[in-house]
Chains A and B, each alone.
Chain A
């Protein structure tokens, strides 16, 4: 195996660095505390959602309901958690639990996750509409304070991303349970033969996804201060793209939490970069697609070298 193939993390890091350098070149004033804060402002919820998606991809499934789920959490946070914190907390816990149950159900009945989560996206979306039929609500004060805190030297979004990456790296890559969880994605049968209850592991992975989805929705409300039922629908596709940009694979339990966080940062930065380029708004979405293709093309060079 070549050096590059062994250290898959290099590609996401280089992509982010190149994009960051290009941004600074276009707009030198962005190279400041305030500038970085603006660039990565929305990165925290996207990074958390990407980690949630990674938990599902880790066990060889895919979650098409994540965007709707994060939207629902945002609606709960902006209403119940703000007005009646105890009830709000209970609802959020129930949501995490329902994710874990979903994982167990998918495994027990051998259901296709892509379809079950597709159905769940209607359920979450409907509940969100039920709670908040029109945009509104308010962020709890403590959450607002937490998301706008200004640590010395580096902005909050960067500090938070490093913490998210470190915690999930310890949990998924370094810990015993994380290794077994990745094993479920690698070969569920051999994990079962080794005496592990796969159904509980899958429920645990889904529960973790639910937990990070809840955190994503909460931080999103902390930033935007209000919510609506469609606020995070694009997170479904963003999170999948983030995981793959970060060097993850759809099958085999090959995921990288650090890579996923960096992938999410890259996607956030791509949007900011394009607005600096003074590109016509018509082309902004398309250019994001082009950047995605470009970065993934770089991945091809890496894997070719790996095979050689």
Chain B
């Protein structure tokens, strides 16, 4: 089978290209450091991207715009609970994941009971989460407990711990999607909700589980990111809104739903970091960097679509 027919290969090729071009400038020096940084920062994008991928798989119109607000709220409340006291890392994790569950539940209730389009429901809800975060944060920057900060910035076998978390999560999502009944149900729902319902699939259960998962993933990413960067900040999630959608699409998942791609999300997450560091090392300013990033995203989408037409 032609490996180029795998949709996820493109994001990995793009990431490898950006990696090679960056190293071309330093004639190979710093390869390890660059790879390490890409894995660290890519992990956060990959975790939220996996969640967004599950939601987008649900079909047209499904997207979660509350990811940044959920990340911020989970991180803020978790760090506040831990209050830099040693030995509270798991309490903090429980608080963060609890926030994620609550946010996901609230999002889904808005969609189910008020029949709001998910875009609008998650947008409106995110404004409320943001307010809660502002209210509970009060501009304080609480440091994470030292052991947690050490864990988040540490490594095992040369791979950053946050990347291990992201890879583990990716493996779980892949198994659930490809090897479990739930995953098949999710894909079926995304391909044709009506047909899925007629086939006896509990569509609403699937949707509920998906919106819960994306919020829990976002809260995990927020918890890890705050521990990694020495505290929660109110704007810590901002860039992950567009990032989460971008990595799903560059990763080769269908934006129309019903077709998801776990390895591609990781490839795209690495690519999104590497392309910025590539442009940085070539001395591009913030404006040029942004223009080129956008152009590359569109180019990848066009490349993916022409391949689809030929196939």
**In the complex, A125 Cα to B295 Cα: how many Å?**
12
Q: Which residues of B contact A287 (CB under 8 A)?
A: 131
- Find the B residue at minimum CB distance from A233: B238
B61 within 8 A of A: yes
When the two chains form the complex, which single residue of A110, A118, A289, A300 contacts B242, counting CB atoms closer than 8 Å?
A: A118
**In the complex, A7 Cα to B84 Cα: how many Å?**
57
B158 within 8 A of A: no
Contact yes or no, A111 B302, CB < 8 A: yes
Q: Which residues of B contact A296 (CB under 8 A)?
A: 114, 116, 120, 124
**In the complex, A297 Cα to B111 Cα: how many Å?**
11
Chain A residues touching B, majority SS: helix
Q: How large is the interface on B (under 10, 10 to 19, 20 to 34, 35 or more residues)?
A: 35 or more
Contact yes or no, B293 A292, CB < 8 A: no
Residues 203-258 of B contacting A (Cβ, < 8 Å): 242, 245-246, 249, 255-256
Tell me the minimal C-beta distance from B292 to chain A in angstroms.
8
When the two chains form the complex, which single residue of B65, B249, B290 contacts A122, counting CB atoms closer than 8 Å?
A: B290
Chain B residues touching A, majority SS: helix
Residues 15-46 of B contacting A (Cβ, < 8 Å): none
A129 within 8 A of B: yes
Residues of chain A at interface, number, CB under 8 A? 45
Given A109-B302, A120-B294, answer yes or no on A289-B131 (Cβ-Cβ < 8 Å).
Answer: yes
- Find the B residue at minimum CB distance from A282: B135
Given A112-B256, A115-B255, A126-B287, answer yes or no on A64-B242 (Cβ-Cβ < 8 Å).
Answer: yes
Q: Which residues of B contact A121 (CB under 8 A)?
A: 242, 294
B198 within 8 A of A: no
B305 within 8 A of A: yes
Most chain-B CB neighbours within 10 Å: which of A122, A127, A130, A303?
A: A122
Q: Which residues of A contact B290 (CB under 8 A)?
A: 122-123, 125-126, 129
Q: Which residues of A contact B295 (CB under 8 A)?
A: 119, 123
Contact yes or no, A237 B135, CB < 8 A: no
**In the complex, A53 Cα to B287 Cα: how many Å?**
25
B127 within 8 A of A: yes
Tell me the minimal C-beta distance from A107 to chain B in angstroms.
12
Contact yes or no, B131 A114, CB < 8 A: no
Given A110-B305, A286-B128, answer yes or no on A126-B294 (Cβ-Cβ < 8 Å).
Answer: yes
Given A114-B245, A115-B249, answer yes or no on A123-B291 (Cβ-Cβ < 8 Å).
Answer: yes
Q: Which residues of B approach A to under 8 Å, CB–CB?
A: 60-61, 63, 65, 110, 114-117, 119-121, 123-132, 134-135, 242, 245-246, 249, 255-256, 285-298, 301-302, 305-306, 309
Give the 6 A-B residue pairs with the shortest CB-CB distance, closest first. A286-B131, A289-B127, A122-B294, A126-B290, A130-B287, A126-B291
Q: Can you sample 13 A-B contacts with CB below 8 Å?
A: A118-B245, A119-B298, A123-B294, A126-B287, A127-B287, A129-B285, A129-B290, A241-B124, A250-B119, A282-B134, A285-B134, A287-B131, A292-B124
Q: Which residues of A approach B to under 8 Å, CB–CB?
A: 62, 64, 109-112, 114-116, 118-130, 133, 237, 240-241, 244, 250-251, 280, 282-290, 292-293, 296-297, 300, 303
